[in-house]
Amino acid sequence: MMQILGLYNYWVFAILLMTGIYIVISRTNLIKKLIGMSIFQSAVFLLYITLDKVEGGTAPILQAGAPEQLYSNPLPQVLILTAIVVGIATLSLGLAIVVRISEAYGTIEEDQIREMDS
């Protein structure tokens, strides 16, 4: 039972990853596509943070006087911590581009923009 439950995080990762990319592929609305991209990104974050967990461990903040304490892996946390903030910066750049597209074309639906361009 626990052997299978120990994989549940990875399954959720797989489903979220593919939900995100499905939104990017199938929706024509540019803001919806950006939301899909951030779901995709969050799924990757979930994968990394799942890897860091150690059974019986705690957050990697060293405790004085507890030399036997187990700690979870700090390295994936560092990578994801910075990635989240980079993610919001790039998301806002994407949103700025969408705003400019909307002002230029009057729509943010990809198929309508493509018709106007052709």
Instruction: Name the minimum Å distance from CB 13 to other proteins.
Output: 8
Cβ-contact 110, 28 below 8 angstroms: yes
Give the angle 109-114-118 at the CA atoms, nearest 5°: 155
Cβ-contact 62, 71 below 8 angstroms: yes
Identify which of residues 79 and 116 has a Cβ nearer to other proteins in the complex: 79
Contacts of 54 (CB under 8 A, 6+ apart): 70, 71, 72, 73
CA-closest candidate to residue 24, choices 49, 11, 47, 41: 41
Identify which of residues 67 and 118 has a Cβ nearer to other proteins in the complex: 67
Instruction: Name the minimum Å distance from CB 46 to other proteins.
Output: 7
Identify which of residues 89 and 117 has a Cβ nearer to other proteins in the complex: 89
Identify which of residues 51 and 116 has a Cβ nearer to other proteins in the complex: 51
Instruction: Name the minimum Å distance from CB 53 to other proteins.
Output: 5
Instruction: Name the minimum Å distance from CB 102 to other proteins.
Output: 4
